[in-house]
Chains A and B, each alone.
Chain A
Amino acid sequence: DGGITQSPKYLFRKEGQNVTLSCEQNLNHDAMYWYRQDPGQGLRLIYYSQIVNDFQKGDIAEGYSVSREKKESFPLTVTSAQKNPTAFYLCASSIEKAWNQPQHFGDGTRLSIL
């Protein structure tokens, strides 16, 4: 089945620690995205990538980093500089060349602070 796989489902971070969230897709999509969702808030864009080896900051990129070395993979690192990392993180992908196409989402990673 084609889809987007996020792992782990739950993640705990200690103070001062960097953690990496995994996102893999087998939809052959060019574009990938990371969002953060907080209770009662809309999805906020952290980073996005239209093509391998290229990515752009979204609205709330501070304290986060990404890489896009392979088309299928777009990992997100939550660094110690992110002072309020507790949230639900969602990865999405879409066909970049066909505008108006919807983004498809994984089932998220819930990050909490120990």
Chain B
Amino acid sequence: EDQVTQSPEALRLQEGESSSLNCSYTVSGLRGLFWYRQDPGKGPEFLFTLYSAGEEKEKERLKATLTKKESFLHITAPKPEDSATYLCAVQAKRGYSTLTFGKGTMLLVSP
């Protein structure tokens, strides 16, 4: 069974204070790992897809990295508008595989 564990559950940062969110996964052959951002009362917004260990993707203050067991979402010099819940999901290689989501990390950035 595929599993995704995200940590921490919640993180509070001061504006400009860089940090990382973790996504640990267990899957029988990874087809892709996805990061989403979700604002309260809204649907998840796609951020990145990572396919293989060693891969990195960047977007503004966010950088996602991938190893064989986990992915990190690094947030550099965050701003209050980065406050959201960040979701991680994996897709396995077998057949037509749906996504398995983690419970998310709720990030709050204070001015």
Q: Which residues of A contact B (CB under 8 A)?
A: 4, 6, 33, 40-45, 48, 50, 58, 90, 92, 99-108, 110
Shortest distance from the beta carbon of B34 to any chain A beta carbon, whole Å: 6
Q: Which residues of B contact A (CB under 8 A)?
A: 4, 9, 31-32, 34, 36, 41-46, 49, 51, 87, 89, 91, 96, 98-104
- How far is it, in angstroms, between the C-alpha of A58 and the C-alpha of B99 when the chains are bound? 11
Tell which of B43, B44, B104 has the most Cβ of chain A within 10 Å: B43
Interface of B is mostly: strand
Interchain CB contact under 8 A, B44 and A90? yes
Interchain CB contact under 8 A, A102 and B98? no
- How far is it, in angstroms, between the C-alpha of A108 and the C-alpha of B44 when the chains are bound? 9
Of all chain A residues, which has the CB nearest B32?
A100
Residues of B within 8 A of A103 (CB): 34, 46, 99
Shortest distance from the beta carbon of B90 to any chain A beta carbon, whole Å: 11
- How far is it, in angstroms, between the C-alpha of A107 and the C-alpha of B40 when the chains are bound? 10
Residues of B within 8 A of A92 (CB): 43
Shortest distance from the beta carbon of A63 to any chain B beta carbon, whole Å: 19
- How far is it, in angstroms, between the C-alpha of A58 and the C-alpha of B32 when the chains are bound? 19
Interchain CB contact under 8 A, A42 and B43? no
Interchain CB contact under 8 A, A102 and B46? yes
- How far is it, in angstroms, between the C-alpha of A3 and the C-alpha of B42 when the chains are bound? 14
Interchain CB contact under 8 A, B43 and A90? yes
Inter-chain pairs besides A41-B103, A100-B31, A101-B49, 4 sampled, C-beta below 8 Å: A40-B103, A42-B100, A42-B103, A105-B43
Residues of B within 8 A of A40 (CB): 9, 103
Shortest distance from the beta carbon of B23 to any chain A beta carbon, whole Å: 11
Which one of A43, A48, A100, A108 lies within 8 Å of B101 (CB-CB)?
A: A43
